[in-house]
Amino acid sequence: MIPYRVLAEAIRGVLLRGGVAPRRQVLPIPGGAFLVMPAADEEVAVCKLVTVQEGQDPMVQAEVWARRLSTGEVFHLPGEEITKRRTAALSLLAAQVLAPRKAGALLIVGPGAQGEAHLEAFLEAFPLSRVYVRGRGRARVEALLQKARAMGLEALEWTGEEVPEDVAFLVTATPSPTPVLPERVPPGVFRGGGGRLPPGDAGGAEGPGGAGRPLRGHGGRPPGGRGASGGKEARHPPKGSPFGAAGGRGVRPL
């Protein structure tokens, strides 16, 4: 597997190089929706296809088609794995650029596939002191705690009402439509992550009253659902950042 730090740098290059990404198309199908998400730059053209159908196992299935424009080569890629690793790598890039603190504890809300990927990504790049985990499924919480311990980290379940003061990175890896964070988060905490959202959903609710606020951490989508990514709550990205107009061309919607 390609290291997350390498993926993060590749994403940085794409953001600085620029590209075009039209708003995703959502087509109704029996029991759900079919989502089409194309994008292109000067080097590649890609399209992610997602089928969401209630009653199916898994409910969400994804695939990615990519064409290298210089050679005409076409690649068929597993959408779930790409989405999981892409989202964690983008969170990592955002933290590298925007996080006020580059060391401390990691708090993961949502111990599923995205939570696991974010644990791997952040441990690869930052000196984590410990990991806190919160989730509704006992088995998944225990599994992620055990994984973190096997990676040499102190791992604790977070059951309190306040975010621990030693948390430097907070990941909301859940599509929960209800708030998953308390009213107060200690200053200087980077908030990021990702979650699977139903078609047409405008965004997850990370904090009280937080439905669809894209800069509250990137677990929620901005209105219209163009993506599942974002960054720390910051209005002025650093000079040279790939997350603002000053940093590069970025990905332009049609």
pLDDT tens, position by position, 109-130: 999 999 999 999 999 999 999 9
CB 172, CB 180: distance < 8 Å: yes
SS3 label, residue 15? helix
Mean of per-residue pLDDT scores for the chain: 82
Per-residue confidence (pLDDT) for residue 243, from 0 to 100: 63
User: Residue 103 pLDDT more than 90?
Assistant: yes
Listed by start position, the domains of the chain span 4-81
Paired tokens of 225: 């659902």
**244: pLDDT confidence band, cut at 50, 70 and 90?**
low
SS3 label, residue 253? coil
**96: pLDDT confidence band, cut at 50, 70 and 90?**
very high
Spatial separation of the C-alpha atoms in residues 174 and 135, rounded to whole Å: 9
Spatial separation of the C-alpha atoms in residues 40 and 66, rounded to whole Å: 9
Domain spanning 4-81: which superfamily? ornithine cyclodeaminase, domain 1 (3.30.1780.10)
Residue with the larger pLDDT of the pair 5 and 17: 5
Residue 175, preceding peptide bond in cis (omega within 30° of 0):
no
**For the chain, where are the alpha helices, taking DSSP H only?**
4-17, 79-98, 113-125, 138-150
In this prediction, residues 189-217 reach a mean pLDDT of: 50
Spatial separation of the C-alpha atoms in residues 131 and 27, rounded to whole Å: 40
Per-residue confidence (pLDDT) for residue 47, from 0 to 100: 98
